[in-house]
Structure 1
Amino acid sequence: MSYLLLLTLFLNLTFYPESPKAAEIQIRINQIGYLPEDSKVAVIFSKETVRENFLLVHVETGETVLDIKPVKLKKDAWGGFLYWEVDFSPISEAGQYVVKGKKSGVSSSPFLISNNAYAGYQEQLLEFMRQQRCGYNPALDMVCHQKDGRSFFGPMPDSTFVDLSGGWHDAGDQLKYLITSSYATAHMLMAYEMYPDRFEDKVNALGQPGANGIPDILDEAKWGLDWIHKMHPAPDQLFHQVADDRDHRGFKIPNKDNADYGWGENSYRVGYFATGKPQGLSKYQSEATGVANLAGRSAAAMALAARIWERDLNDPVFAAKCKRAAISLYQLGREKEGFQQGNSYGAPYRYNEETWADDMEWGAAELYKLTKEDRYLEQAKSYALQSNTADSWTVRDSAAHYQLYPFINMGHYSLHEVVDEDFKKTLEGYYKDGIDYTLKRAQKNPFHIGVPFIWCSNNLLTSLATQVILYEKMSGDKQFEPFLASQRDWLFGKNPWGSSMFTGIPDGGEFPVEVHTAPYVLLGMDVPGGLVDGPVYTSIYNNLLGLTLLKPDKFAAFQNEHVVYHDDVGDYSTNEPTMDGTAGAILMMVHFSR
């Protein structure tokens, strides 16, 4: 995360935003639309009592399909508004529609009902991932950070050069973390395994236009795999981070990096070796008890890759390389159980991961599928019992930044396939406990949203949606379909601000534009598919350092005492797209595609 990028460029700027007046009646819908079988519910809100019905109108024909009496919601009155729901779930006929006030004429934006409503959007998320590439960046057509990096805390002398080039920039900044990259890589590989026929082939391995016979999601995953191999240069060695918050020197194009780690600007950057012990090169020290969080999920990514490259891509050489890495990474996790956090230098912010059994469960489950060795199955089951519901944010009302990461335990789904019926029920129960708890939270707010609005709430939301999807596949239980639809719909505009949370999606809709990234600020680039951090509790926003809105807040009328969101470069807490957040939304997005 780039916490203080703004200070250098905008320190002397002061803006006093004016609040626009809210229209008398607001309609919030999913701007993309709905699958025919979906729960389809619009939220209506106003400062005054709404005394009219709402029409569902077919755009092409002008026909009124439904005349609906809104249902008053007895929920928390966010922002002092009164809330109603308009349910048009019975309509499944394909077409473009609007929801329209019968007397006032106030109308939603057009949206689709179609089996193809979500077709292809996963490819836009991959487009954003390519923008985040370090090394050769196809979006910018340039090469950066070839001198990554100089080692610290490793078995080699400090400042020894090690080749840690490649990977992805984490967010609007240019740090690289195994914490997030290992999850992004493994998530993409699992999404491909579940939906192998839903991904396109439009770019080559470098991300340049032109098919190469490999689905683009596997090209992107391999970019992560190649970097993980570099971060694991020997069976007993693992690096976990390149660069630190010395990076935060204002917006910059990656091949003109003005950060100085002791070797001059645009030169070598520090590479942190994973020791399993607290680290820090300045006043701030991370916490650490082991390396199993990093090793376990990196092993999962490698085991998944070994199967895919052998089975689907006919590349036994790369498959064998990944298999060896999966085995050695997992063993490293066994030897150093515990967690390694991210490192900071001049600021207190870091990735605070404190869980690891979930990652070892995932790694062991994937290794069992790869090798058929019983020890991996027994160890996966043991780690699953350690990584129960209590380790999930879904049963808590708050957590530190990335404390309970990844935000979904993918190991439960991976393991479910290969265990007996009793253990299947145990794993299903872990997912269901979290869904039930978030459902209770959702029942208190007018948008039926189940996540706490801590930093990166959108990452929690896509993970919750993914958890419901995986639970349904494991159990066959479809009772949470309306809840799933509500979480998805929030991300595409059924929220107080009427905004999608993905850049450029949908085309012509309301979506983040003034995003906290250098390509936008310095080059005016609009790259679609990036999931922004998302709304935060107003109390969190009011206490973060370095926040300065640079333009009048176009959503001022809809901010409230609970949560805030700003489409403004100056708000790194809500409007910065992240690499792992975007990758972590791919499975959800492809699930809804057809």
Structure 2
Amino acid sequence: MKNQFVKKLPGISFYWLIVLLLAWGRPCNAQKSVHIRVNQLGYLASDVKEALVFSPGPLREKLQLRRAQDSSLVLEERPLRIKADTWGTFDYYYSFDFSSVKQPGSYFLQTKSTGVKTPAFLIGPQAYAGQQETLLEFMRQQRCGYNPTLDMVCHEKDGRSFYGPMPDSTYVDLSGGWHDAGDQLKYLITGSYATAHLLMAFELYPDRFADAYNALGQPGGNGIPDVLDEAKWGLDWIHKMHPAPDVLFHQVADDRDHRGFKIPNQDNSDYGWGANSYRAAYAATGTSQGLGKYKSKATGLANLAGRSAAAMALAARIWEEHLQDSIYAAKCRKAALSLYALGRKKEGYQQGNSFGAPYRYNEETWADDMEWAAAELYAMTKVPDYLNQAREYALKSSNRDAWTVRDTAAHYQLYPFINMGHYALHRHVDKEFKATLEGYYREGIVYTLNRAMQNPFHIGVPFIWCSNNLLSSLIAQIILYEKMSGDDQFRPFLAAQRDWLFGRNPWGTSMFTGMPASGEYPEDVHTSVYVMLGLQVPGGLVDGPIYRSIHDSLLGLTLTNPDEFAALQNRHIVYQDDVGDYSTNEPTMDGTAGAVLMMAHFGLPVK
């Protein structure tokens, strides 16, 4: 072979022949062929710390962990080849475990010879300190009515009723709440969950939330933790959505909203009263609805009433015990009882409504919401009937309402993505029933863990629309399971799921806007404030990777720039940081709220 090569290249010296041969066996650009993935936000000292390395060919060099301050060497080892199936783009995957390093500080990883380097990341308690407050910054940006991020008032004329007990087009005051995502719709489906999740996160970690903003979201504390100010923004809107014992509105606006990017107080959508005017407000009836071509499905409204009742019961307890505000606590208590009674009267689910497009929130579960409500009402009242009903709903929901024991589901079909009712009920039942509830959580964790072992990233969620929401919910489920059972065997799995969200993924990007500020994160997000005003508001959790089969079938999805991650995509799953990709790069209000518990869990108490 050597002689043949020399004959084809006459006149080349032996020195240059050796150089050519070495180049022949090495990629032209080594720094582009090797990729190192870490959690860019960082790690607690006790965490399992595992970086992932992948390349098209064998990795023949060691990996080094160095201190960012002075580049001093801390650890040098050869990464271990991963035996799991590859992701589909690169043939060689390796893990590099540096769990033994616990000294607080800033570090980076690099390959020894070619110098491929990661961004700096933290190890130690400061890695997650205060990051839950960053998520609340995004939540304030989503506020409808007075928006403190933009310092403007929008959608003051929400809305005109449909399907309610009053005549169609009757004005009802449903101002407030949160815009759902990059669009400006408002859903009780997501708003009720976001509100209840924020309240539960505070109950679990009351010492980890700061007070830097007032009730309107303006700088300056008001003696109330900001997470409760944000939850109250949701509570006040839910009160409006439930103006009478037999009335519950569930949605304001529909996909007539989707007329391009727009500033919230200059909404060009027209619901029959002209642009930037009244918007349709849908009352929950437990029946199929739709004012245009497409109709939602419905069998009742207990999903909406149950989640809202759980939020109100949590609020009643918190405002009484933590804030000593008996007046607001009494208001929430009354609403909790009324909403729960409405859910009992009309068991079943109400989906979101669309008008001219086939996409909607396809929720088909409700027993999980009623379990959560009944458990919180029992905690609030100590009335035994609520405890008995909570147990019944828990058995009815079990894991039949859970995506964690399935390989796929429709968009928001099994919502919320975690059954908080199991945790809320656990503290009130006997040992045997505690084990049953723990078993529901454990079954879902084990199922997703088995899925995770089939890929080198050890990621266990199905990549349906809003996969990042599934992931943050799975993380919350592992956290709550450990609190319930004391079983900490899933901590390495928990770390892998969390680390994916902050960069240990094929694309090497955080899935939260602006987090960490010095790292790779979504920038060209599908939101009006970015497109129209250039604002990059940190803390928003984007939808995340999606099966290409779903992605490529969506209407109106067009990239505005070449895909910067094109070389990292595989044939099955795609993520794109582009304003035109509403399926993977649109930050959502409920997804962000649903990650607050996770961030508080890893954070530090506020001094």
Q: Which TM class, normalised by the smaller chain length?
A: over 0.9
Q: Which whole-Å CA distance do the structure 2 matches of 1:160 and 1:131 have between them?
A: 29
* Deviations 1:270-329, CA, capped at 9 Å, x for gaps: 100000010011121100000000000100000000000011111101000000000000
Quote the residue 1:389 is aligned against: 399
Q: Is 1:501 aligned to residue 501 of structure 2?
A: no
Q: Which whole-Å CA distance do the structure 1 matches of 2:172 and 2:463 have between them?
A: 39
* Deviations 1:19-77, CA, capped at 9 Å, x for gaps: x9981211000001100000000000000100111111122243322222211112232
From 320, 338, 353, the equivalent of 1:310 is: 320
Q: Which whole-Å CA distance do the structure 1 matches of 2:260 and 2:67 have between them?
A: 48
Q: Is 1:58 aligned to residue 67 of structure 2?
A: yes
* Contact in 1 for aligned 2:89/2:569 (Cα 8 Å): no
From 228, 231, 253, the equivalent of 1:243 is: 253
Q: Give 1:108 shift.
A: 1.3
Quote the residue 2:127 is aligned against: 117
Q: Is 1:145 aligned to residue 189 of structure 2?
A: no
Matches within 5 A, 1:551-566: 551-566=561-576
Q: Which whole-Å CA distance do the structure 2 matches of 1:306 and 1:21 have between them?
A: 60
Quote the residue 2:524 is aligned against: 514
Q: TM-score, normalised by structure 1?
A: 0.96
Secondary structure of the residue that 1:78 maps to in structure 2?
A: coil
Secondary structure of the residue that 2:32 maps to in structure 1?
A: coil
Matches within 5 A, 1:138-217: 138-217=148-227
Q: Which whole-Å CA distance do the structure 1 matches of 2:77 and 2:396 have between them?
A: 49
* Deviations 1:68-101, CA, capped at 9 Å, x for gaps: 2211112232243110000011111111111121
Q: Report the structure number with the largest CA radius of gyration.
A: 2
Q: Is 1:230 aligned to residue 229 of structure 2?
A: no
Secondary structure of the residue that 2:330 maps to in structure 1?
A: helix
- Which portions of structure 1, spanning 4 or more consecutive aligned residues, are displaced by more than 6 angstroms? none
* Contact in 1 for aligned 2:303/2:350 (Cα 8 Å): yes
Q: Which whole-Å CA distance do the structure 2 matches of 1:274 and 1:539 have between them?
A: 33
* Contact in 1 for aligned 2:66/2:75 (Cα 8 Å): yes
Matches within 5 A, 1:32-431: 32-81=41-90, 82-431=92-441
Secondary structure of the residue that 2:472 maps to in structure 1?
A: helix
Q: Which one-letter code corresponds to 2:384 in the other structure?
A: D
* Deviations 1:151-172, CA, capped at 9 Å, x for gaps: 1111101111111000000000
Q: Which whole-Å CA distance do the structure 2 matches of 1:95 and 1:156 have between them?
A: 62
Q: Which whole-Å CA distance do the structure 1 matches of 2:144 and 2:239 have between them?
A: 15
Secondary structure of the residue that 2:207 maps to in structure 1?
A: coil
Compare 552-561 and 125-134 and name the one that shifted more: 552-561
Q: Which whole-Å CA distance do the structure 2 matches of 1:313 and 1:423 have between them?
A: 33
* Contact in 1 for aligned 2:465/2:543 (Cα 8 Å): yes
Secondary structure of the residue that 2:280 maps to in structure 1?
A: strand
Q: Is 1:492 aligned to residue 505 of structure 2?
A: no
Q: Give 1:102 shift.
A: 1.7
Q: Which one-letter code corresponds to 2:36 in the other structure?
A: I
* Contact in 2 for aligned 1:78/1:561 (Cα 8 Å): no
Q: Which whole-Å CA distance do the structure 2 matches of 1:323 and 1:478 have between them?
A: 36
Q: Which whole-Å CA distance do the structure 2 matches of 1:151 and 1:391 have between them?
A: 31
Q: Which one-letter code corresponds to 1:77 in the other structure?
A: T
Secondary structure of the residue that 1:202 maps to in structure 2?
A: coil
Quote the residue 1:544 is aligned against: 554
Secondary structure of the residue that 1:391 maps to in structure 2?
A: coil
Q: Which whole-Å CA distance do the structure 2 matches of 1:388 and 1:445 have between them?
A: 28
Q: Give 1:419 shift.
A: 0.6
Compare 333-342 and 48-57 and name the one that shifted more: 48-57
Secondary structure of the residue that 2:282 maps to in structure 1?
A: strand
Question: Taking CA–CA contacts closer than 8 Å with sequence separation of 6 or more, which of the two structures ends up with the larger relative contact order?
Answer: 1
Q: Which whole-Å CA distance do the structure 1 matches of 2:237 and 2:215 have between them?
A: 14
Return closer, same or farther for 1:479/1:441 CA change in 2, 3 Å cut-off.
same
* Contact in 2 for aligned 1:289/1:339 (Cα 8 Å): yes
* Deviations 1:223-266, CA, capped at 9 Å, x for gaps: 00000000000111100000000000000011111100011111
* Contact in 2 for aligned 1:22/1:557 (Cα 8 Å): no
Secondary structure of the residue that 1:428 maps to in structure 2?
A: helix
Q: Which one-letter code corresponds to 2:109 in the other structure?
A: V
What percent identity do the matched residue pairs reach?
Answer: 71
Compare 78-87 and 139-148 and name the one that shifted more: 78-87
Q: Which one-letter code corresponds to 2:66 in the other structure?
A: V
Compare 497-506 and 545-554 and name the one that shifted more: 545-554
Q: Which whole-Å CA distance do the structure 2 matches of 1:519 and 1:592 have between them?
A: 30
Q: Give 1:474 shift.
A: 0.4
Q: Which one-letter code corresponds to 1:50 in the other structure?
A: L
Q: Is 1:463 aligned to residue 473 of structure 2?
A: yes
Q: TM-score, normalised by structure 2?
A: 0.94
Q: Where do 5+ consecutive residues of structure 2 fail to align?
A: 1-28
Quote the residue 1:12 is aligned against: none
Q: Give 1:221 shift.
A: 0.2
> Alpha carbon RMSD of aligned pairs, Å?
1.0
